[in-house]
Structure 1
Amino acid sequence: MKQSLILFSTLFILTSFSCTVKAENPSSSFQNSIEIPLGGNTYQSFGNKLEKINEEGISNWSESETEFSIYFRSSAPKEVEISLDLIEQQGVSEISISLNESFQLKLNPGESGKILIGKMRLKQGYNEIKLKGIDKEGSNFAKIKNLIISYDGELDLNFVRDNIDNRFYWGRRGPSVHLSYTLPENQNFKWFYNEVTVPVGQDPIGSYFMANGFGEGYFGIQVNSETERRILFSVWSPFKTDNPGEIPDEEKIKLLKKGEDVYTGEFGNEGSGGQSYLQYPWEAGKTYRFLNSVEPDGEGNTIYTAYFMDPEKQEWKLIASFLRPKTDTWYKRPHSFLENFIPEKGNIQRSALYTNQWARTTDGQWIELTEARFTGDDIAKREYRLDYAGGEANGKFFLQNGGFFDQCTELNSMHQRNASGNPPVIDWQILP
């Protein structure tokens, strides 16, 4: 299935029409309604001070310059009625709610529950409802738990529906997507090579562009802050836990060697194991090369080593080499993935191009990998969010997520790129 790479988010254009409504909670004239919890579907889209969005919804809204955006996807154009589920109002305030038209809502102390706003028209695809503060007397403009969409007939909406297993957190991070490269059977592979290019403007903070994944870990580049970027290489422990402190000594990842200026330590939260990273100012628009190996040591352990090509010096840099105990394997499951690891940044689009994948057998033969399966995480599988895409475009594999774009690639679809026929040329004798 061929997809086109989308490099820019859709702009939502708001009309200037505005009317003021008084807070009231009558019964809706529509037969059906859906509650969209703000805790998993809302972002602070403007404002210098970070307000509080948690499982209860918007729990702090103190600054007049703050704007919130609520996102959901509609299966069809539809006239609907919009209401807010208000946590008890503490002071007098006035806020605005807008989609294709704008309403101003006056709130008084003591008001709570369903507050009717008015009728709006949804478009097919993703809709963005904006909340802005106009005036207030107390410390908060409002505390809001849910957005209520009332309608007649049929309507399917996609949004993060529940917080089971912390899905508000994962949903606000956005759907993670993967490319699993088809590896020939009945051969042992030691090395995997890949190239990654992040298009200019597609590298927001919180992005992890993972290039060289394997059955027990991953290797790629991150955007950690406005001033810091990393090359990250991690290997999971065979002991299953999210707390590295629980790993017995005999099952800990052991560092064998590391490159100059490389940090090494432990990681947790999503499995645990050994972590290494090099702070490196990689740039969007440039292509970077990754090489790593997986090799059993013959004593019931496996050694994992990662190299990054420094394009400025035109030399391979050692990131780290780890030993994983109780493991006996060659390179399995070569893959790449794209994720956002900061929930507050899940409304921003990111994408990457993955090109020139090669695997090298234990007897030194390079084999080009030109087929990949596209998959997504739990948030994608549940269709809580559908702003994800991946596959092949213009002869390259790609991944894209975040930003609430409308196009969506079928999960578990297979994709092929044209072979380049140019295996990497590596001087194995000078690898550090």
Structure 2
Amino acid sequence: MGYTVPANTEYFYNEVTVPTGQDKIGSYFMANGFNGGYAGMQVNSATEPRILFSGWDADSGAKTTLVRKGPNVVDNGFGGEGTGGQSYLLYNWTAGNTYRFLTRAQPDGAGGTDFSAWFYTPETATWRFIATWKRPATTTYFAGVYSFLENFNPDNGYMERSVQYGNQWARTTAGTWSELTSARFTGDATAANAQRMDYAGGVQNGRFYLRNGGFFAAYVPINQTFSRPATGQQPTVNLSTLP
């Protein structure tokens, strides 16, 4: 699901709900993606649920570096589909609960941009800081904002998974919050080439949703735009007191 945000968007807010029973191993429920990185929830094993925030290296090849991280957050590099820095928190999130993600893009005035991510836990009613990554040779606010649903374990392609995203908001550098009520539904090469057609997306229960895996038949064609009803519920987050 791709969202169009206003110019000079500094913060992006999203709420993610994995329906009960849909938290299959090998799933990545990515909430806050952008040109430069992404944040969301993973199921790496039956005992290893993660909150993940990664930043890509610069297009020039210059390395993204860690500025700071929150308590108990693990950081390392990653490779494979591109290279960059990765940070994650082992957190036993629960399917059926709604979690909140907030990301920030902040040019540092020296040719780089700092990307930060926070995660709100309803179990403790607190915001948790994940990390700030500095991407060099990049001066930008948010662009290309999106969410995705991924199966990163090919052996689990027979398992169906789904996710709902609701109440998306963007905040500009001028301090104005804007609700985002439309999203563009797209797919990767596997979907575009019709190698597999067990995928769907749209609006469900007032939220955008994504679904894939399990070989279901009722697919929804990609490359179309959906609109959800506005909530009018601006994020109740105090940016000045975030950890």
What letter corresponds to residue 49 of structure 2 in structure 1?
R
Tell me the residue number matched to 2:55. Answer: 235
- Residue of structure 2 in register with 1:217 after alignment: 37
Q: Which amino acid aligns with 1:228?
A: E
- Quote how far apart the aligned CAs of 1:239 are: 4.5
Corresponding residue of 2:13: 193
Q: Is the 8 A contact 1:259 1:319 kept in 2?
A: yes
**1:182 to partner: Cα distance:** 2.2
Aligned-residue RMSD, C-alpha = 1.0
Task: Look up the match of 1:421.
Answer: 232
Matched, 1:291 2:98: no
1:180 aligns with 2:2: yes
- 2:180 maps to 369
One of 399, 418, 424 as aligned partner of 2:210: 399
Question: What is residue 135 of structure 2 aligned with on the other side?
Answer: 324
Larger Rg: 1
Aligned to 2:86: 275
**Cα distance, 1:183 vs. partner?**
2.1
Q: Residues of 2 paired with 1:405 and 1:209: CA distance?
A: 19
Q: Residue 311 of structure 1 aligns to which amino acid in structure 2?
A: P
Shift of 1:308: 0.5
Q: What amino acid sits opposite 2:15 in the alignment?
A: E
Q: Name the SS of the counterpart of 2:191 in structure 1.
A: helix
Q: TM-score normalized by structure 2?
A: 0.98
- Residue 113 of structure 2 corresponds to 302
Q: Deviations over 1:234-255 (max 9, x none)?
A: 0000157xxxxxx6xxx11111
**Deviation (angstroms), 1:338:** 0.2
1:348 aligned to 2:159? yes
- Aligned partner of residue 266 in structure 1, secondary structure: strand
CA distance in 1, matches of 2:126, 2:206: 27
Cα offset, 1:312, TM superposition: 2.2
* TM-score normalised per structure 1: 0.55
How far apart are the structure 2 equivalents of 1:375 and 1:408? 13
Given that residues 193 and 359 in structure 1 are in contact (C-alpha distance below 8 angstroms), is that contact kept between their aligned partners in structure 2?
yes
Aligned length: 243
Give the unaligned 5+ runs of structure 1: 1-178, 241-246
CA distance, structure 1, for counterparts of residue 227 and residue 57 of structure 2: 33
The question of 1:264 aligning with 2:75 is answered yes
Q: 1:412 aligns with which of 194, 198, 223?
A: 223
In structure 1, the residue corresponding to 2:45 is in which secondary structure?
A: coil
Q: Is 1:315 the equivalent of 2:135?
A: no
Residue type of the alignment partner of 2:39:
F
Note if contact 1:358-1:366 (Cα within 8 Å) is conserved in structure 2: yes
For structure 2, the 5+ residue unaligned runs are none
Give 4+ residue runs of structure 1 displaced > 4 Å after superposition. none
Query: Deviations along 1:170-215, whole A, 9 cap, x unmatched?
Result: xxxxxxxxx001223xx21000000000011111100000000011
Instruction: Report the secondary structure of 1:376's partner residue.
Output: coil
Provide, for residues 78-131 of structure 1, a one-character-per-residue CA deviation record: whole Å limited to 9, x for no partner: xxxxxxxxxxxxxxxxxxxxxxxxxxxxxxxxxxxxxxxxxxxxxxxxxxxxxx
RCO higher in structure (CA 8 A, sep ≥6): 2
- What is the one-letter code of the residue matched to 1:393? Q
Name the CA distance, whole Å, in 2 between partners of 1:280 and 1:394.
26
Cα pair 1:182 1:370 within 8 Å, conserved = no
Q: Percent identity?
A: 54
**In structure 2, what is the Cα distance between the partners aligned to 1:258 and 1:183?**
27
